[in-house]
Chain A
């Protein structure tokens, strides 16, 4: 067992951190508050190959793993420049296409993922099928050698920035007549496809959307891979999503902890830095411990996934997502507390994170569903739902 990351991954982290810091949290907030996107940072990161680290080399990517992509995601968040679309576009979509796409699909899409020029959203959640993906009603029917897609999706990230959306739908099984899952690539300019921004009380440079598919005609090759591989495709995509979600949370936790510790060292009341008081020092130390634990589990999940153990990675990825989200909430809360009133002043760059980290407890899978998973699969307790 090796608990030290490779020299290359450490160098990657340093390079990404430096790039992220050169933009900084103020850049992020300016974009987020103005309704813009962090396109400049995304494009530069793409050109440097940071967004394509896990895309296979033969398609122009870095040929590395999800562990490396997760490190990139974490470092951008730790620099105060989180890029939510990283969780979706290179982690889920590029992975699913690299592992299950047809040769044509790979040739068409993967070079763009490698350079960051392609952005793809991922759509699974529906108004009536949140955590229950068995109740997905977005349905494709065969039509003239192609597909016609109908349905709705909600809380889909970054659709306005995306070239296409990877849509989880269902189709009729030719043999049994039952509905089975299927993944479709829907370019965002396809007729019949509409998306509307959902007003959110979040300050984020990546927006949330509701999606409407109204008799959307798709060519035959819009279906990802073969008809019967959808479950495996989902598994292949959802583990990286959880690992990236964990890394996203961890990065913000690091950013907040850094802010809190920095302030605790500098701010002096009653003649001593406030960090000398255990009432503030101990909670920060606790955050540090929980952060390192969550990071270790995230690295474990990524290592298992990159070793090809999809099933083994599932448990670790869920636990990492849970732990990352919880410590991020705690880190931001404590950093704000250390700052007193300044913690909520715009100038100090912490206030908007209160909402941002709360997302991690809900998405991509809720805290409760993770606990259900662990209770049932790790502990063997009876299924509760």
Chain B
């Protein structure tokens, strides 16, 4: 009966134009539609699969502004049982270390956690380090980049896939897992799930509630600072090759010139 905490994050929709605030280079949340990060849907799906195989309970944990409740509701409508929402103005601009500390403190509020499941990397910040930091802070083994997860009694096995190859890992519970987009296909919330979500308990906490020192979080206390940000320049038009019977040769010459072949 694993007790699972799933980390979810509300991010700007990857289909909309994503921007940083000009003043402090933090995310401009007003400029884009906010959605539950797709990788988190997969994390929720994996937690629900494990729960359905052996009962247990799934708690959704989200650190984010008030409107992140929409992302939490989505996870609850998929079938998670309850949620913790850490919402505090002072968290604005927190770096990954501070975020991991806050998440670790919030996980400490859930009794008897067996598994923490996260996405391997959020689609906005793309730091990809929070799961590892969190494992360190919680003193739990970390099994990151999982494309398959098997819980067997008090152990968990993970197929870890990175660009370097495939690694088969095993660890004792409790443990922190992060999943890749190959892990599963997330379910659509059923209508009953949507209707049930509004009745599920959501505990809203502040940094003070968690006993985290306010001097450790927020933009002013981040270990690094963004000095400047500029969007990628648009791609240039490229070079056009007209085929006058020697198109293949010309393309080969171009590629040789670029030292590509």
Contact = CB atoms under 8 A, between A and B. Distances in A.
Interface of A: 7-8, 11-12, 14-15, 18-19, 47-50, 52-53, 62-64, 68
A7 B73 contact: yes
A88 to B, nearest CB: 20
Contacts of B189: 11, 15, 48
A62 B192 contact: yes
Contacts of A50: 191
A53 B191 contact: yes
A119 to B, nearest CB: 18
B194 interface: yes
Contacts of A53: 191
Contacts of B195: 8, 62-64
A14 B33 CA distance: 13
A11 B188 contact: no
The A interface is mostly helix, strand or loop, or mixed, namely helix
B190 interface: yes
B198 interface: yes
Given A11-B77, A48-B189, 12 more contacts: A7-B73, A11-B73, A11-B194, A15-B77, A15-B188, A15-B189, A49-B192, A52-B191, A53-B191, A62-B192, A62-B195, A68-B191
A48 B191 contact: yes
A78 to B, nearest CB: 15
Interface of B: 73-74, 77, 188-192, 194-195, 197-198
Leading 10 A-B pairs by shortest Cβ distance: A49-B191, A62-B191, A48-B190, A49-B190, A11-B194, A15-B189, A19-B188, A53-B191, A15-B188, A49-B192
A11 B191 CA distance: 9
A191 to B, nearest CB: 38
A68 B74 CA distance: 18
Nearest to B197: A11
Nearest to B76: A11
A18 B194 CA distance: 14
20 contacts: A7-B198, A8-B194, A8-B197, A11-B189, A12-B191, A14-B74, A15-B77, A15-B188, A15-B189, A15-B194, A18-B188, A19-B188, A48-B191, A49-B191, A50-B191, A53-B191, A62-B191, A63-B195, A64-B195, A68-B191
